[in-house]
Amino acid sequence: MAATMPTGPAGVLAAIGRSNIDSPGVRAELAPSKRFDAFVSYHPMWLAEKTDAFATTGVRDVTGRSGRFAGSQLEGRVRYWVVPGFLRSEVNAFWLDKGHFLKSAPNAPKIGDTGYLSTALIAMF
């Protein structure tokens, strides 16, 4: 059974697709005023089957010896209306803490965890 999972707060990080994973999660949102909102979410991730490729990464262990646990995803976003209704600032962050599968599968990239940070200033017309 595969679960649906977000690709990141800004939708630009596409390593974590919506196939071949089981990923329960928790998300907290905050909007204390009309000008400010934020969220943070956490998802541990497992392959649907030990011999699957992980999501859209192409990382796979056909023997299944690397296990099912791919890692944990932590993401968040903070937005603030600088000029209400016209100009909004945004900061997005993402961190993938690689689990045993993404560290030990035969074709797994030999790099550390994945981090992403973006900022934006958006004008509405």
pLDDT at 3: 39
pLDDT bin (cut points 50, 70, 90) of residue 97 is very high
pLDDT at 22: 77
What are the tokens at 112? 């550390």
pLDDT at 103: 94
Residue with tokens 């991730």: 45
Q: What is the pLDDT of residues 16-50, one digit of tens each?
A: 665 667 778 899 999 999 999 999 999 999 998 99
The one-letter amino acid code at 34 reads: K
Distance separating alpha carbons of residues 27 and 103, to the nearest angstrom: 26
**What are the CA-CA distances from residue 64 to residues 44, 87, 112 (Å)?**
19, 50, 22
pLDDT at 14: 53
More confident position, 57 or 100: 100
Distance separating alpha carbons of residues 61 and 104, to the nearest angstrom: 9
pLDDT at 5: 40
Q: What is the pLDDT of residues 59-95, one digit of tens each?
A: 999 999 999 999 999 999 999 999 999 999 999 999 9
Distance separating alpha carbons of residues 52 and 46, to the nearest angstrom: 10
**What are the CA-CA distances from residue 90 to residues 35, 41, 61, 64, 125 (Å)?**
12, 17, 38, 41, 17
Whole-model pTM?
0.78
